Structure 1
Amino acid sequence: MHLASPIMVLPTVSPGRTLDVPAPHVRLVGRRRPARWVAATVVVVLAAMFVHTLVTNERFEWPTVAHYFTQESVLRGLWLTLWLTAVTFAAGFVLGVGLAAMRLWGGPLLQSVSFVFVWIVRSVPPLVLILFWFQLASLYPQLSLGIPFGPEFTSVDTTHLIGPLTAAFIALTIDVAAFAAEIVRGGLVSVDPGQTEAARSLGLTPLRVFRRIVLPQAMPAIVPASGNLLIGLLKSTSLVSVIAVTDLLYSVQLVYNQNFKVMPLLLVATIWYIVITSLLAVGQYFLERYFARGRRGARPFVDVLRDAARLRPRVSGAPR
């Protein structure tokens, strides 16, 4: 006796048609990262401990911080810090653009001058520059105006000409110029030379090529570094307190030298620096987004904050 073997009947598919078979449900499971969760737990615990000590430690004297935060003398120092940051950055960046142009398009002499200037200034700390210009009268008691190697028309006492604020302005401007020159030069060099050659072949003038072709492509590389330079300059202005310029730091120093509330007054200066730096960072983001329009990666500011607040980063292209 023989048993009939089961026969599997396959559905027939006519030529030119595909077999409609439901696709199995696939559930994507992310890779487990226990080390990341351990590290995140440690960071959260440390952050909670830090917040706890800020709230519970009475020696921070938060009522004192709140009292002096908007005091008139502190606000005057804050205004001087902002003014010094703005004028030195503007003057230094203009000088840096000139140095970059000398390095890129000048002759051998101008290129050498630009290179030596940037090399020396970047090698000297800003504090040394400030002290050097503040003590310039010890080297040159008088500055004269006249024909080189000839008669002098007029002279002025260096001590009265270069005061503390002037010395701070000159020193910080020179420091910014050296770094701005390299930022601008690096941004311009990053543009493919073929872009310029293609534009020149279309009959565009060199100035129009620079304004319409080279500069828009160089700005995405120049803006982030320039924003970092500006924020660094804001913090570097605190160095002028060593020559008695009444900036934000020196203003709070004058106060705590009278009431001996050192830590609360230092917290006042710290919070103001954090606020200003945060505002500059937001402005830098929108400026970067403006020059990066039409490029991939330019996202709204809300999305940037949302991704920064996530514990686990979002995979590109994944649904929100």
Structure 2
Amino acid sequence: MSSQPSLKVIPARHPWRIVGGVAVVFIAATLVQSIAFNPRWEWGVFSEWFFNPVILEGVETTLLLMVSSALLSIVVGGLLAAARMSDSPLVVGLAWGYIWIFRSLPLLVVLIILYNFSYLYDTVSLGIPFTSFSYGHFQTINVLGQFSSAVIGLTLVQSAYTAEIIRGGFNSVDAGQYQAAAALGLSSWRRTWRIILPQALRAILPAGVNEIISLAKGTSMVYVLAMPELFYTVQMIYNRNQEVIPLLMVGAGWYLVITTGLSLLQYGVEQAITRSERRAAEPSSITRLAARYLPLRFVTRQKAEAAHAHTR
């Protein structure tokens, strides 16, 4: 028997990967030195105010604004997305007009208009346009306060973006899935909830969480309403003690905590969706046992008969 020469394994070399790693470490060390060891950042003031009760109240208000506006924008955005996919040109035009207006207007302008809504309209009533018929009169000054104006303004703007994200997610689902779901004889609600929505979530989730993160940072714009959320609270404190940079870093630190939590939530949901899809693609336990213990010819014949019956 002739002996074959032994093969020499040469490991792959990646010199540029090493160069890139060294450059990243150098840049990171430079940033840490310039920020952590620079006394002008005043990290002592930062640690003093980070868990201050006044700051924590501002964080609580920011979280309340974010959660309320996010939930309402998902509901309103879902309705707008359904209207955009409607067969009625009038409904489609109405939804498109809403999205066009509130994607075009700056959030700051919307908040200021809502906060001064009682100046524009003293009362609001239900009635038929261009007629004298009206029912009920509501004083707007008693309805739109700081918190309600902030939530409504954030919802109006955010729902326009959410609607397009949801519509894009549903459009990403293959048309054959809609046809197959309709062929099963399911109702439109069950088709959407059980078949189309789980597939659309894969496209909706990343962009949707990005918008919620933007919403969390966008709550800082309600400072124009003199509402004591996180940014307004930080602003009031550094106006008194003139410690501008460390107080701004306190606000930035809490926004970083909030967005990190949302990113971890996104990662967990994406992993759960991936695991559920992997489990759905795996063969059942009965099929695995049959493939292991029954004769191969018998199992193959069963699969062929099942495939033939399915095609019929």
Shorter-chain TM range is 0.7 to 0.9
Letter in 2 for 1:252: V
* 1:93-112 mapped onto 2 (5 Å cutoff): 93-112=74-93
- Alignment match of 1:198 (pick from 180, 186, 192): 180
Cross-structure match for 2:283: none
Letter in 2 for 1:159: I
Alpha-carbon distance between aligned partners in 2 of 1:98 and 1:124, rounded to the nearest angstrom: 21
Letter in 1 for 2:31: F
Aligned-pair CA distance for 1:237: 0.1
More displaced 10-residue stretch of structure 1: 155-164 or 83-92: 155-164
- Contact persistence 1:133–1:171 (CA under 8 A): yes
Cross-structure match for 1:70: 51
> 5+ unaligned residues in a row in structure 2: which ranges?
279-312
**TM-score normalised by L of structure 1:** 0.80
Larger Rg computed on CA atoms: 1
Give per-residue Cα distances to partners, 1:68-114, cap 9 Å, x unaligned: 11111111110000000000000011000000111112411001111
* 1:1-320 mapped onto 2 (5 Å cutoff): 21=4, 24-33=7-16, 37-146=18-127, 148=129, 149-293=131-275
Aligned-residue RMSD, C-alpha: 2.1
Distance 1:106 1:168, change over 3 A: farther
Alpha-carbon distance between aligned partners in 2 of 1:202 and 1:92, rounded to the nearest angstrom: 32
Number of equivalent positions: 277
Alpha-carbon distance between aligned partners in 2 of 1:20 and 1:178, rounded to the nearest angstrom: 73
Distance 1:112 1:28, change over 3 A: same
**SS of residue paired to 1:217:** helix
Alpha-carbon distance between aligned partners in 1 of 2:10 and 2:28, rounded to the nearest angstrom: 35
Alpha-carbon distance between aligned partners in 2 of 1:167 and 1:132, rounded to the nearest angstrom: 9
Q: Identity of aligned pairs, percent?
A: 39
Would you tell me which structure has more helix in proportion to its own residues? 2
**SS of residue paired to 1:245:** coil
Alpha-carbon distance between aligned partners in 1 of 2:168 and 2:37, rounded to the nearest angstrom: 49
Alpha-carbon distance between aligned partners in 1 of 2:14 and 2:236, rounded to the nearest angstrom: 56
> 5+ unaligned residues in a row in structure 1: which ranges?
1-10, 12-18, 297-320
**TM-score normalised by L of structure 2:** 0.82
Aligned-pair CA distance for 1:153: 4.0
Alpha-carbon distance between aligned partners in 1 of 2:88 and 2:170, rounded to the nearest angstrom: 18
Cross-structure match for 2:309: none
Alpha-carbon distance between aligned partners in 2 of 1:134 and 1:117, rounded to the nearest angstrom: 20
Alpha-carbon distance between aligned partners in 1 of 2:256 and 2:52, rounded to the nearest angstrom: 18
- Contact persistence 1:220–1:292 (CA under 8 A): no
Aligned-pair CA distance for 1:22: 5.6
- Contact persistence 1:85–1:233 (CA under 8 A): yes
